Each structure stands twice: as structure tokens, then as C-alpha cells.
Amino acid sequence: MNPRRATPFALALLLLAGACGDDDGGGSIAPVPAPTGTPTPTPTTPTPPTTSVTQNAVATFDNPWAMIFLPDGRMLVTEKPGRLRIVTTTGTVSAAVAGVPAVAFAGQGGLQDVALDPQFATNNRIYLSYAEAGSGGKGLAVARGTLVTDGTGGRLDNVSVIWRQDPKVSGDGHFGGRMAFSSDRRLFVTAGERQKGAPAQDLAQTLGKIVRIDPDGAVPSTNPFVGRSGAKAEIWTLGHRNPYGLVFAADGRLFESEQGPEGGDEFNLIEAGRNYGWPNVSEGNDYGGAPIPRHSTNTAFTAPLVSWTPVIAPGGMIQYTGTRFAGWTNDFVLAGLVSQGLVRVRVNGTTASEVGRLALGARIREVEQGPDGTLWVLEDGARGRLVQLTPAR
């Protein structure tokens, strides 16, 4: 009951008390105590999301492609011509790490991604994806080795190739090459369709696929196409074009981003055995404007959660788990090559939407979160800078 509003019953009691008087014969009404409820707190205004940053360029590289932080706070940075560097946050760049496999550097191919073994703290093992030349042309490959560092750089020992895309084909585009480890130590690798289109739908080839392998390259028996006649057992999903982003979210789900043709860049929830449609369907058109059927025309294909036309040309991708960037926590942050900045996507259950962009004025190839919650980006190109981003005050 509201203490400031009297009901008819309460008013009757007050009138009765006035007629009878109290024991001292004064005939007055006893005062009503003041309300003692807890005051309503003043609502707080949410902090607006970060929309501007300070850029601090610390180093420059020759066609950088990927980076990852080491446990000691340094970074590993790949350069497409085939060099792996150890870099400090103040910009000290090592000599090239020795022992990196020979790469086929041309077009979109070269040394691509770098990933740390989930047990890196005890085994110092890293994984590299790269374009490899061989019989029939070129294809993606994944190698692993033990990183040994010294005062000037380091080397890779015990290097072995654990997976190769099959078949090798002509051309220098659409290698993919992004890697991510699941919580159960399975390695997921994005493999582009090498600008060939149709093989993305062929389970006998690993073009246009995401594959799932053990750290030594063995195929887990729980993969969705194990035992299917003619199918490559390492395939996890199919129907991909040029997938450049791959990240496990805090809730354990796997998300991927890939470049479409003329329009139709995608942000996808990746689930075992799903077919994402390329080249049969797309949210974009062929170069020159020829239409491609949309995902909505065929329910056999899994549609993206978000698509972009005009394109953003997504590169690397993370889920931001820090707090330095207000309003960004748990959002996915995509590096944008054509959009020249960062694109922020928010997932809500099984839906997602773009919630913001941060213009940086350069083609952004890669994005990573630093241990202190700041963001680091690699610019694309022959003199691509490593830049630390902090929220502007």
C-alpha cells in the first residue's frame, strides 16, 4: 500500500479516533509516522560505446598477414613472403625466425596464419598455415614446429607438415588459411576454394571447406563425414568461398567470416556437417553483376547470420573480451580491408547484427586483443604497420 494515500477504511478509523478522543481527554489525532521505505536509486546512464581511438604505430612489415600474443607479452607476426617475426609491444622486431617452411608467395598466397598449441606453455609448439607449391599447382598447407627463441630471433625445430589441401590447383587466390583451436584441442582450418567455385561443393576435395584435425594431423573419428564413401574425412563444413576469419566464442561456439563476390561478405555460425552454399547460393552477385540465387531459395544451405553489400572484405576476426573499449565486451570485431577499419558484430543467441564501425583510414588485415585489453591491428600491404589502438579520452 502506498503510505501517502489513505483508503476509505483508514479514513473511517481516523474519524472514529477523533470522536472518541484519547486517554488524556485532549481529543487530538495521533500523528502519522513518516514513511521509512528505501529510496529509489537514481538511474545511471550507460557509458556510450567507444567510437574514437588513439593510434600508436610501433613497427612496419612487408605484407603482414597475422599475429598472435605469446604468454610473455611479445607477439608473433607473419609476413606473406615467408618470414615469421617476434615483436615487442614497443616495436622491437626480431630477425626472421629460421626453419619456416618454403612458401609460394604470389597474389593472395604466402605465409598466412600462426597459432599457438593449447599446451604452448609446456611444449612451445606453434602452427603455421601457408601456400605451398607442388604437383598440379598450389594449395594450402599447415605445418607445426617447436619455437626456440634467443636474443636476436629464434628458430623452429622439428618442423613437420600435418595437413595439405587436396588437390593443388592453378592460381594465386582464395587460400583462406585461418586457424583456431577448440577447447578439446582440435585444430580447425579454413581452406578457400582457390577461385574455382564448384569444388566447394565436392566432398572429395578440400577446396572451399573448414577442416577439423588433431594437433598431429590425424582425423578425429567424430568428424561428420567420416565413413562416407568418397568424402575427405577431415571436412567439418563445406560451401565456403574465401574464409579469412575464425574464432571460438566464450560460449564455445565457432564463428567464421568470409569474403563474398560482388557483395555478400558473410558472418557465419559454424556447425558440423553444414553446407554454407557457395557457389550455388550467395548474398552477393558475380563480378559484373550477374545474379546468384540467395540462400533463401534453397533451405539445404545455411544462411549467414550477417551479410554485407557493399562488401567490407573481412580479414582477421576476434571476440573482444576486455573492458577498455566501452560497450564492446563480447562483440565480434572484424578487420575490414575494403571498409578500412573495424566492424563490430553482436550475437544474440542464433541471430546477429552489425552494431558499429571504427574508421582507421587503411586496409586492415588483422586484429588482436592485447593482454591489457587494448586492440592491435595489422595494415595490409608492402609497408603494413602494426598499430596499437586505445580509446580516445
Q: Where are the domains of the chain?
A: 53-391
Integer Cα distance of 184 and 148 in angstroms: 25
* pLDDT grade for 45, boundaries at 50, 70 and 90: low
Mean pLDDT over 317-341 rounds to 98
pLDDT score recorded for residue 22 = 40
Q: Does residue 1 register a pLDDT over 80?
A: no
Neighbours of 294 (CB within 10 A): 16
Mean pLDDT over 228-235 rounds to 99
Burial letters 195-220, b for 16+ CB under 10 A, else e: bbbebbbbbebbbbbbbbbebebebe
pLDDT score recorded for residue 378 = 99
- Among the residue ranges 11-15, 55-59, 240-244, 277-281, the one predicted with the least confidence is 11-15
Could you give the strand order of the β-sheet that contains 75-79, starting from the edge strand earlier in sequence? 64-69, 75-79, 83-87
Contact 86, 151 (CB under 8 A): no
Mean pLDDT over 170-180 rounds to 99
96 closest CA partner among 64, 121, 124, 143: 64
Residue in 174, 209, 241, 295 annotated catalytic:
174
Mean pLDDT over 14-36 rounds to 39
Q: Which amino acid is at 316?
A: G
Does the structural domain 53-391 have CATH classification 3.10.129.10? Answer: no
- Among the residue ranges 22-26, 298-302, 383-387, the one predicted with the least confidence is 22-26
Integer Cα distance of 46 and 327 in angstroms: 9
331 closest CA partner among 349, 308, 354: 354
pLDDT score recorded for residue 18 = 38
For residue 147 the three cell numbers come to 619455437
Q: Report helix, strand or coil for 171.
A: coil
Integer Cα distance of 117 and 126 in angstroms: 6
Q: Does residue 92 register a pLDDT over 70?
A: yes
Is residue 174 part of the annotated active site? The answer reads yes
Express each pLDDT in 109-158 by its tens digit.
Answer: 999 999 999 999 999 999 999 999 999 999 999 999 999 998 888 999 99
* pLDDT grade for 46, boundaries at 50, 70 and 90: low
Work out the burial of residue 222: count CB atoms within 10 Å of its CB; fewer than 13 is exposed, 13-18 middle, 19 or more buried. Answer: exposed
Express each pLDDT in 340-388 by its tens digit.
Answer: 999 999 999 999 999 999 999 999 999 999 999 999 999 999 999 999 9
Q: Does residue 66 register a pLDDT over 80?
A: yes
Integer Cα distance of 318 and 118 in angstroms: 17
Work out the burial of residue 237: count CB atoms within 10 Å of its CB; fewer than 13 is exposed, 13-18 middle, 19 or more buried. Answer: buried
Mean pLDDT over 327-331 rounds to 98
- Among the residue ranges 22-26, 40-44, 109-113, 154-158, the one predicted with the least confidence is 22-26
Q: Does residue 184 register a pLDDT over 60?
A: yes
159 closest CA partner among 110, 190, 119, 125: 125
Q: Which amino acid is at 134?
A: G
Q: Report helix, strand or coil for 62.
A: coil
Integer Cα distance of 186 and 122 in angstroms: 18
pLDDT score recorded for residue 371 = 98
* pLDDT grade for 191, boundaries at 50, 70 and 90: very high
Q: Does residue 83 register a pLDDT over 50?
A: yes
Integer Cα distance of 165 and 134 in angstroms: 11
For residue 108 the three cell numbers come to 593472395
For residue 176 the three cell numbers come to 583462406
pTM confidence score: 0.89
168 closest CA partner among 190, 187, 145, 191: 191
Mean pLDDT over 14-41 rounds to 41
pLDDT score recorded for residue 47 = 74
Helix, strand, coil abundance in the chain, percent, nearest 5? 5, 40, 55
Tell me which H or E stretch contains 15: helix 8-20
Mean pLDDT over 37-44 rounds to 52
* Average confidence score pLDDT of the chain: 92
Work out the burial of residue 2: count CB atoms within 10 Å of its CB; fewer than 13 is exposed, 13-18 middle, 19 or more buried. Answer: exposed
25 versus 353: the higher-pLDDT residue is 353
Integer Cα distance of 358 and 184 in angstroms: 34
